[in-house]
Amino acid sequence: MLKNGLLLGLFALICTAVVAVVNDSTRDAILAQQKLELRRTLEQIIPNELHDNPLEESCILLQDKDALGTTQPMPAYIATQDAEPVAIAIETIAPDGYNGEIRLIIGIKTDGTVLGVRTLSHQETPGLGDKIERKKSDWVDSFIGKKLRGSDDKAWYVKKDGGEIDQFTGATITPRAYVKSMRNTLSFFEANKKTIFSQSQTCEASQ
């Protein structure tokens, strides 16, 4: 029994060492891939022709539980042209999705116009709620060019709630949560625009 125990302990030690070496050797590659994916996402919601700065390197942190759906600071990426802000991409969370949190990122011009939105992560039902993914549906493109006209703009609700946003057939909770998160984030941006754009870089580029 003692011999078997020692062999088992040695095997566990070797496995732990191997995992540690693999993690260490792949860390840089993983970080590089994450930065590449972040850059691709940002390019989709804030076109390169609008700015002359590297968005993924222009990161600040924003914090507001009611607006951003979490107590944790959320990354935002400021786009500038000739050192003047022209747009921002804000990561935010819809905490009340059908199967939990939905993490999204919204590109917004300085005048409040939506440039684009992408879903970063979610656990919504395949075939129904997953239409918030751009590769599954173009539903998220319906927000492009829209502006929030006040914090309680009735247009920024799904049609079932008297608004103008299409919901999914057989799934209302997911789009309702998504639209609410966008509405809250846009309202927060409009109310704090001057403060947001005056912030210095406060976070590393990450996603």
Domain ranges of the chain: 45-198
Higher pLDDT, 26 or 188: 188
Q: Find tokens 């998220």 and name the residue.
A: 140
Cβ neighbours of 98 (radius 10 Å) = 18
Q: What is the pLDDT of residue 170?
A: 78
Higher pLDDT, 189 or 14: 189
Look at the alpha carbons of 120, 123, 127, 131 in this order and tell me if their dihedral is positive or negative. negative
Q: Averaged over 187-207, what is the pLDDT? A: 83
- Report d(CA 135, CA 127) in Å as an integer: 12
- Give pLDDT tens digits for 109-165: 999 999 999 999 999 989 888 999 999 999 999 999 999 998 789 899 999 999 999
pLDDT band at 205 (very low <50, low <70, confident <90, very high): very low
User: The whole model's pTM is what?
Assistant: 0.82
Q: What is the pLDDT of residue 2?
A: 63
Cβ neighbours of 53 (radius 10 Å) = 16
- Give pLDDT tens digits for 9-50: 676 777 675 655 555 556 556 666 657 788 899 999 999 999
Q: Where does the chain have alpha helices with state H? A: 2-45, 65-68, 173-198
Q: What is the pLDDT of residue 18?
A: 60
- Give pLDDT tens digits for 163-176: 999 988 778 999 99
Q: What is the pLDDT of residue 207?
A: 42
Phi-psi region of 201 (alpha: psi -120 to 50; beta: other; left: phi over 0): beta
